[in-house]
Chain A
Amino acid sequence: MSNPSALSNPKTKTWLQYLPSVTVLGPVIALVLASFYFATQTDRFLTPQNFSLILQQVMVVAVIAIGQTLVILTAGIDLSCGMIMALGGVVMTKFAEQFGFPPVLAILCGIGVTTAFGFLNGMLITRIKLPPFIVTLGTLNIAFALTQIYSAAQTVNISNPASPLLVFGGSLSIGGTVFNFGVITAIFLYIIVWFILSETAPGRHLYAVGNNPEAARLTGIPTQRVLLLVYTLAGTIYGVAAWLLVSRTGVGDPNAGQTDNLDSITAVVLGGTSLFGGRGVIFGTLLGALIVGVFRNGLTLTGVGSVYQVLITGILVILAVTADQLSKKK
């Protein structure tokens, strides 16, 4: 070899190359600092009750954000998630309450509808090669209209308080902290998806497709099938989110989920997942959802108006995306 060191010397790092770790550590630091600040401002913040309340407030968006993370890892975006969830919630409650379906079957029908919508997104993106932004903007409106038409804009009440539709509303108490079944389910979903992404071949293919689709294709990964699967699976996850929401609110609400698309994207971006695809960790999204939840909760407790909460969320997103962009440019 003419010069062995040419291969073995790792390039000296510039400070910009440390930015990926900043995108991972940044959210943790933000969460700790914010919690510390709110704890000094009000003694109602750092209580087990308040903590379980925050978890319940963020769990639906956190579950939607799992689907959103999968989509964004492929360098896509899903604007339709919240509306698909609302449709799923209305379908499962109406089927159970007004058509007399057994609740479990009604729930499966609701999840079936959201899965079908995810599949539709995936087909339009992979077969007709439309940009994900436009496709999901279209299905957002379609799902919204269908939800309104189908429910006649009426909230669907659930008569039986023991219905499986409400199963996630239950909780168990450990040492004064109430662990809501919905929250436990959400965390469980995160663990499952983390395992798939990190330990299975299809999970690694998803990262490859997001990171360099041409390279993935040339190494024989069926990139279009991966994309179709991702959007379909995201639809299924929105169906589970619908069930969680019905459990939490006790109704099928046709007006639910209207800001959940942006909220979930916020959680994903704050969690350090790159909008350019192929980079990110699913637990970052959980952290991102928690950051939004902690800020909203803390600002509410300290009496700051909701407009300022929106303002701060906006600033956080811009900071997170800036870090992402800078780390890409290095």
Chain B
Amino acid sequence: MTQHLSTQSASSLEFMPEKGKPVLQARGLVKRYGQVTALDGTDFELRSGEILAVIGDNGAGKSSLIKALSGATIPDSGEIMLDGAPVRFRSPIDARRKGIETVYQDLAVAPAMTIAENLFMGREILRPGILGLLKIIDKKAMLTEATRHMADLKIGIRSMTQAVETLSGGQRQGVAVARSAAFARHVVIMDEPTAALGVKEGNMVLDLIRRVRDSGLPVIIISHNMPHVFEIADRVHIQRLGKRATVINPKRLSMSDAVAVMTGAMKSEDLSADMLAP
């Protein structure tokens, strides 16, 4: 369970995967809650080296899709593939073990604990040898690793020993993102990463998300903030009525047209080929 950040980050820096290879895919996902069909046979594809935004109206199945991909719900049918191999996630912890880290909207940090402790929560570095067998933690190593990792992501917090509750909203988001980026091997999923942040802090988090992508980890973001989505996403997955309506190229399609597709005012068949994502 214990992993060292050094090996993680080093490998992700050396290993720049070829762009465009599918990393996480889903086919025909169905999820029903009683009478309500949240997912009606939806497809999904995340490629290496990209930031994929998932947008959709309320009730389009956006969060059910993300829950299925992060292991928070088990779909009734359909399949999920990680690096081309079928996988089944029984819980978020299961998905995490397979290298998919999720940054939850409520951040899932322990406010009274320090930044270093939050980064390593549940995955503490143990002392070598017999002390490690006694589950004695290596505070110094965790502090060093945390400092280095936060510096790599250019999150300018100096002291890793300050409690997370003393940080601003953007800084807390930074800690949550840094934790996921440190331990993810395949995918980072971010649920509304810029919600409840001011303009400056929102931009800072967008920069951070780009750095995570550039370090070699593909990122899925779910957001209601259209300007942010269009600023950061390489491709935009539009979810509508429990299905994937289309995947668009945010550099070719306007924000208002994307919203029109999202609400059904414009049919995805009416989009010209260059507006769609390659």
Contacts and interface: CB of A to CB of B under 8 A. Distances in A.
Interface of A: 1-4, 6-8, 10-11, 13, 17, 199-202, 204-205, 207-208, 211-212, 214-216, 218-221, 278-279
A6 B204 contact: yes
Given A211-B110, A215-B109, A4 B156 contact: yes
B204 A216 contact: no
Interface string B103-130: 0101111111100010001111010000
Interface of B: 1, 92-93, 96-97, 102, 104, 106-113, 117, 121-124, 126, 134-137, 139, 154-158, 162, 166-168, 170-171, 174, 200-201, 203-204, 207
A242 B169 CA distance: 48
18 contacts: A1-B207, A2-B207, A6-B201, A7-B155, A7-B156, A7-B171, A8-B156, A200-B136, A208-B122, A211-B111, A212-B108, A215-B107, A215-B108, A218-B104, A218-B108, A219-B121, A219-B123, A278-B112
Contacts of B121: 204, 208, 215-216, 219, 221
Contact of B122 (A6, A219, A278): A219
Contact of B203 (A3, A8, A215): A3
The SS class assigned to the B binding surface is loop
B117 to A, nearest CB: 6
Contacts, number: 102
Contact of A204 (B96, B102, B108, B117): B117
B204 A278 contact: no
Given A1-B204, A8-B157, A207 B113 contact: yes
Given A10-B166, A200-B135, A219-B122, A211 B112 contact: yes
Nearest to B92: A218
A192 B172 CA distance: 33
B135 A6 contact: no
A11 B167 contact: yes
B115 to A, nearest CB: 12
Contacts of B111: 211-212
A211 B107 CA distance: 13
Nearest to A13: B166
